[in-house]
Amino acid sequence: TSPIWGYQRDLTKVNNPDGYSPQYVSNDFLVLLPAANNRYAMMDPNRCANVAGQFDGTTVLGTRPTGQACGSVYGTGYKTIKNGKESGQIYSSATFDVNDNFQLFGDALYSLEEVKYATGSGYTWWGTSSGWGRFYDQASGQYMNLQRVFAPEDIGGGGYRDIMNTDRNKAYQVTLGGRGTAGNWDYSLSFTRGEYKLTERNFVRWNDPINDYFEQRVLGPVLGTTSTGYNIYSPNWEAFYAPLPAGDFQSFTGYSYSESRTWQNLARAQVTNGSLFKLPGGDAGFAVVLEGGSEGWDYTPDPGLMDGSVWGTTAVSGAGHRSNYAVTTELRMPLLETLTVTGSGRYDAFKIGSNTVDKATYSVGIEFRPIESLLFRGKYGTAFRAPTLSDAFQGRSGYYANGSTDYYRCGQLGYDPANTTGCPYDSVSVFGTRSGNPDLEPITADVWNAGVVWAPINNLSLSVDYYNWKIKNEVDTLSSDQLLLAEYYCRNGQSNNTSASCQNVDDWITRDASGVLDEIYTPKMNVARQNLEALTASFKYVQDIGRFGSLQFSANYTDMLKRKLQPQPGDEFLDLLHDPYAMWVYDSYAKVRADGSIGWAKDNWTTTLYANYIGKTPNYMAYVGNGYDYVHSSGYKAGKWGSYTTYNLSVNYRAMENLTLSLMVNNVFNKMPDNQRYSFAGTSGQPYNNYLYNAYGRAIYVQAKYAFGVK
């Protein structure tokens, strides 16, 4: 499929014209004054006339409360809002009957996928802050920073279409095994090998070439340095406010190539017996599954992303592997004709070097059918999931923890952690590093559900279920605030209820001889907890309409009753259903969602109309104001967006036993989330919640599916 560009949709081709703030142009040619609260300076004697042809002739002089700059309201459209994708798969399976009781089997899947996307003008720019921090302009006597965004005309050729990023994925999975019977026992043995490779070809700006280019073309020679060590220049403003000459863009840009790989080996043995012993309600069933294998992950970034050769982007490598094994047993017991109890247990173990992460889990399920048409069901159990390989083995990367509170030094001045207002160390910047953690514990959960199924007639069924999850030890990066708070408690001999231990404090906080924070280390940790409750309902009905075929009706409904998250131990639980700020930060889905379909089948034809419903969600203004009572100075109010429903249609025709032709239409009525613009700023190029909605519009697909080997 071809990519969808922002400029191909009215909603995303231009900065928001209907927002709560004016529709400002982007700052494509910008001079910042860092010593004057980052106000703008207009240094172009031609007032943007020489760059008026940029972004298809839409660049103009723009004015904001902070000053003037040259830019366009249409620059935002030069990014993809949907990736382009080409993919293919080959699947094959085979069996061989050795005798009446034993069969060999095998299957193989190979897939290729190429994804193309463009991040747009917002990520394709150059500025002086990276290489110089700031510079001193000799003529005006002011400190300055420059920002220069590259337009399609600077790139040349097809513009942004010529510098798209490409992800190439290759994957395969092969399974070989055998299965057979021995008396009442069924058994199977198999081995599976799978591997996934990703090659990322990303457009980059080369650090030294791009800085050298603009220093020579715009900044000019170094005329000296200030007393604080900043370079003094006399910039050529005519050169800064000008399109790039043909070919110059290519002199300081190119591509980086990074590779990652994951692999898995799994041996599996299964034994089942559907009639292990007799019970009043029928035969008891029993199963045992043994699994063992290994898995690994490695990520090798382009060397330029690690040694500083790439401007504005860095990456860190990582690699690791672990072995794993598991044992699962299940016993299904029909105690009565109306009552069945199922119990299962599982033991998992993952070994990373000399460290073993293991956990035993179990579940108990009950089914009670007082009459043939009515079923009550329930289940309680525990769950386990090992940390991801990247969480365990990701390499170290650096960052700055700006606005951190140095609780220990504030404490030395008499301030309590609950109130550090007025402390000179209340907001400091400290360099930090983060990485994966091979010592992570498993993510665990207690889960239970209960429900009822009613099928009064053969072609009608309704069900309602309640689900409850309590998840612990979710993985997240240790917050710098938690680590510094732990230091305060540990060094003052107080009870430490944070997610960092006193040993962590000793190992992960570095101070210089005078006590000033020098560096902190915040690895991945088991810190987060979630409590969730949900109610689901489903409906299915089939109606025979004689020679006209049959109609199928189905509907599914989900109401998330509770979703609370504790990001770090000691933090208050965040309400991801009613707190609009938390819902945006953690991409919480709508509280209520539903889907339904109506299908018509006759002979070789099948037609289905689908509906997807998203319930009310907080608007962006509620996120900005952290509440539904917030009123912006413009008069716009926080609130909720109404429900959102889209429709899809499919028509399938079985032309032959092994050939099916399909026509599919997504978003039949071309629905767009364009009623949300008022709660976004006039600088937004995507005025809707892109986690829940999209601006793709109607899409039509044609498919032919041929199955080889069908008789």
Whether residue 315 is predicted with pLDDT greater than 90 in this model: the reply is no
Using pLDDT thresholds of 50, 70 and 90, give the confidence band for residue 314: confident
pLDDT at residue 419 is higher than 70: yes
- Distance in angstroms (rounded) separating the CA atoms of residues 380 and 18: 51
Q: Name the least confident of 142-156, 242-256, 484-498.
A: 484-498
Domain count, the chain: 2
CA 531 to CA 577: how far, in whole Å? 12
d(CA 589, CA 558): 11
Structural domain harbouring 218: 1-79+119-156+207-251
Question: Taking 90 as the threshold, does the pLDDT of residue 477 lie above it?
Answer: no
The pLDDT assigned to 354 comes to 82
Q: Which two tokens stand for residue 199?
A: 């090659």
CA distances from 524 to 131, 283, 439, 474 (A): 31, 48, 9, 10
Tell me: pLDDT of 430 over 60: yes
* Res 588: pLDDT: 83
pLDDT tier at 633, thresholds 50, 70, 90? confident
Quickly count: other Cβ atoms within 10 Å of residue 68's Cβ: 20
- Full DSSP string of 379-422: EEEEEEEPPPHHHHHBPPEEEEEEEE--HHHHHHTT-BTTB-TT
Average pLDDT over residues 222-239: 96
Residue 709's CB is within 10 A of a number of other CB atoms, namely 8
Reported confidence tier of residue 483, pLDDT bands at 50, 70, 90: very high
The residues facing 86 across adjacent strands are: 114
Res 172 pLDDT > 90: yes
Contacts of 303-308 with CB under 8 Å at 24 or more apart are 304/204, 304/206, 304/256, 305/204, 305/256, 305/258, 308/207
CB atoms within 10 A of CB 346: 20
* pLDDT at residue 400, as a whole number: 79
For the chain, first and last CA: distance in Å?
32
> Residue 710 has what pLDDT?
59
| pLDDT for residue 498 | 77
Indicate the residue among 196, 228, 251 that finishes a domain. 251
Is the pLDDT at 711 greater than 70? The verdict is no
Count of C-beta atoms within a 10 Å radius of residue 644: 21
Q: Which of 251, 280, 311 is a domain's end point?
A: 251
Q: What is the pLDDT of residues 263-293, one digit of tens each?
A: 999 999 999 999 999 999 999 999 999 999 9
Q: What is the pLDDT of residue 590?
A: 92
Res. 335: pLDDT tops 90: yes
Residue 707, pLDDT score: 80
Report the pLDDT value the prediction gives residue 526, as an integer from 0 to 100: 86
**Mean pLDDT, rounded, for 374-382:** 98
Residues 345 and 381 sit within 8 Å (Cβ to Cβ): no
User: If you average pLDDT over residues 581-610, what whole number do you get?
Assistant: 93
Of 507, 522, 537, the position where a domain reaches its end is 522
Specify the pLDDT at position 581.
85
Whether pTM exceeds 0.85: yes
Residue 67 lies in a domain: yes
- Asked whether residue 560 is assigned to any structural domain, the reply reads no
Which distant-in-sequence residues (6+ apart) come within 8 Å of 635 by Cβ? none
Assigned domain for 32 exists:
yes
What pLDDT is recorded for position 571?
Answer: 79
Q: How far is CA 559 from the centre of its chain?
A: 23
For residue 709, the model assigns a pLDDT of 67
CB-based contact 440:527 (threshold 8 Å): no
Would you say residue 496 lies in a domain? Answer: yes
pLDDT, position 292: 98
Q: How far apart are CA 436 and CA 444, in angstroms?
A: 19
* 414 within domain boundaries: yes
- Computed over every residue of the chain, the mean pLDDT equals 94
Report whether pLDDT(195) > 60.
Answer: yes
300-309, 319-328, 432-441, 483-492: the lowest-pLDDT one: 432-441
* Helix (H) or strand (E) run with residue 98 in it: strand 84-99
- Confidence band of 363 (pLDDT split at 50, 70, 90): very high
Query: Residue 275 is inside which H or E element, if any?
Result: strand 253-279
In the chain, pLDDT over 90 holds for what percent of residues? 77
pLDDT of amino acid 694: 95
571 membership: H or E segment, kind and range:
none
Residue 100: predicted pLDDT: 93
